[in-house]
Structure 1
């Protein structure tokens, strides 16, 4: 027989907190206090068997008189997870917060809690409801076009997202039904008249014209405006090429990263930076590595199904292989799972591996601690700039070795996982040292030609 919730000895609370794997004693104490208080509130209302939206709303309003709003949001998320746990245990029939999230199309708890705390919860909840996907008068056309392009082998994610945003705009403005495409795009652009939105409208118009041509072949796909693209390129922040001294500071900072509750984390961050700098991997590729993708016996790593549907096997230098071997050994000593499908960069939380968002936050923190990036704001170098640095260093190495870089660019494109050489050319950042190497090579070629010309001129004179 299952224990009844709420229980007087807080067994469910203790089991839930233990499953979270919190390592801070203060956090455990605070969580137990919050959830025990929630249990007492439910017991006082005698509604455990029929936990509903009214009970949750009453608890939120009662807590809002005691806690600041941002604390209410944070602790409501904890209660939401606790109720999901109780549902999985079969102790409650449903989680009202989860029901509301699903009903109103919300991925997180905070918007739902904000609506429940408002003066008119029903109106606020209705405002959260997302429009039906592809429910506008152009919705079927856009949906069929996305299906066709994906059937042809394209991922079509960016274009599909543009269609979804435009479809929601059309549903919120039913008076636009039947208007010409140019008028629809003009009105959508007027909602946010920025160069970025103008570019989005332009690309959306081209995609819609392609979709319409299937039934109306006379429709012309508009040409892109090169001036708009040039304006966006000028506003875009240029890549940053790290110096060797800066990379050394990054690596030293990663090794000394303060992490008393996760002793393997400093070495994990150090190894991630080594891979980004020495192999040019994208951050998503680093996060996606499994233990079985590292082949230390042959000095290779396997990158599976990343951007452009590409998989590739990359040889790594001996120094990188040494770093990977040290990390794999430390990972094993830390008690990480040894299955080939387990995440290479492992931590003790339930997921068992670092997410993309958490990895980006941690590595950005390393940039700030090292002094390479300012303490606040989005200015300064990015993690992705290590990929640009890898390309610049590879080009510089070829110049120093007397190799023609142009002949090697197809190999570099394959190593980086690009579709073609054009994608690789974006990463060719001209540094002062590259200019000097290119200039020296040109002088070595040009001086001989000049001497030949001068000899001809002298004989003529």
Structure 2
């Protein structure tokens, strides 16, 4: 039985006091939730599932359904803190989440509020990873590749998805891997699924060949991947006018509860366009990555395990300088490990998802992207735009872009120029500059060098 500490009221006050709550009314909600739960626990004498279900039913008669869920999450975090301090044996919500392999506490709370909690919990139950007939083989292969230095994250996701399918089909146990893969391939007819099955076939073949070197290597089939590539959206190359419009909207981004958000989003857009940074790279930037004296910014351990030191343009450095001044006025942390971009309320990192949501909102406000859906330009297209505009500028400066591609690949964090070539989208303006360059080369008497370079 999970006993409740005798000095529960004191613990509640101490817990609320140490929380980074920024609104005067928030502690009231916390006390309301935790004290009401404490009264129920005193009645039951333990912080177990029975007490939790009773509290949820009792509060459901007083509060709205969404309010109960919100307060229950407060209780769950409090119980985690008690369990970490050793004051109680465990948090019953966390125990249920582990037992049913559920994704979050919220799902457990909703299930406990259902008319039949046991049935609702069974619906949440997820198969445990790598417990199918091929689970051990795939787990060992993924761990082996990661020990060799590969992230292997995408392959891990593919293997886990296939493992869940096999656990749901116990009737296929004992079948050879080729047969299991064929059944999995038939579950969907989409191009992405067929391409994933091809990747999975390579992974399984490599895993089997490791255990049996005499096993013949499988010949790869590139047709599914090419079929997926045909459906990729053509990158949108933003015009200079589009860029100016986006930056202007970012400066005046509506955010009454977070006054620093406009300058944060403005600087993010500047770095995405002027330095070609990925959203994940922007999210991981810290104060220690910025060197205002040298005019550089460090990008550490990103895609392909590459770190790089990037010189920035004067305009990008001006944006960073204004951001750091605003950060100093806001009295934010000056630790070199602190995130470069900060929340006014919690002084935490902007995560990748939050950055993406806000920058996409700017695209919609600019009229470049529909109000709903995933169609239209993407934030990642700013990276494509950076490459195209850089090459265009080289043409105008009479520089040979082909000689600069290795440098551009290094600046972007690519393994080689083949990855960079994917970003070179031929626009009408770029085609015109290339045609002029070729015309000057093929018939130098027809055009003066000064006219070509202008």
Q: Does 1:443 align with 2:446?
A: no
Distance 2:144 2:290 in 1: 37
Q: Does 1:78 align with 2:81?
A: no
**Aligned length, in residue pairs:** 443
Residue 281 of structure 1, CA deviation: 0.6
Residue 196 of structure 1, CA deviation: 1.0
Distance 1:323 1:230 in 2: 41
Taking structure 2 as the reference length, the TM-score comes to 0.89
Q: Does 1:183 align with 2:179?
A: yes
Q: Deviations over 1:55-88 (max 9, x none)?
A: 2212323444566655543443233234334556
3-state DSSP class of the match of 2:369? coil
> Which residue number corresponds to residue 455 of structure 1?
none
Structure 2 gaps of 5+ residues are 448-454
> Which residue number corresponds to residue 5 of structure 1?
8
Taking structure 1 as the reference length, the TM-score comes to 0.87
Residue 286 of structure 1, CA deviation: 0.9
Distance 1:49 1:371 in 2: 59
Q: Does 1:269 align with 2:265?
A: yes
| 1:6-45 alignment runs, 5 A limit | 6=9, 12=12, 16=16, 19-23=19-23, 28=25, 32-33=28-29, 36=32, 39-40=35-36, 42-43=38-39
Q: Deviations over 1:405-456 (max 9, x none)?
A: 11111111000001111111111111111111111112222335999xxxxx
Residue 97 of structure 1, CA deviation: 1.5
Q: Does 1:299 align with 2:295?
A: yes
> Which residue number corresponds to residue 314 of structure 1?
310
Distance 1:427 1:73 in 2: 46
Distance 2:41 2:293 in 1: 64
> Which residue number corresponds to residue 157 of structure 2?
161
3-state DSSP class of the match of 2:175? coil
Cα RMSD (Å) = 2.7
Distance 1:88 1:146 in 2: 32
| 1:82-121 alignment runs, 5 A limit | 82-87=78-83, 93-121=89-117
> Which residue number corresponds to residue 459 of structure 1?
none
3-state DSSP class of the match of 1:214? helix
Q: Which moved more, 1:251-260 or 1:64-73?
A: 64-73
The 3 A distance-change label for structure 1 pair 251 and 450 is: closer
3-state DSSP class of the match of 2:340? coil
Structure 1 gaps of 5+ residues are 452-461
Q: Deviations over 1:338-389 (max 9, x none)?
A: 1111111122444622111222122222222233222222222221111111
> Which residue number corresponds to residue 204 of structure 2?
208
> Which residue number corresponds to residue 130 of structure 1?
126
Work out whether residues 16 and 82 of structure 1, in 8 Å CA contact, stay in contact via their aligned partners in 2.
no
> Which residue number corresponds to residue 405 of structure 1?
401
Distance 1:20 1:321 in 2: 32
Q: Does 1:51 align with 2:54?
A: no
The 3 A distance-change label for structure 1 pair 215 and 435 is: same
Distance 1:217 1:6 in 2: 65
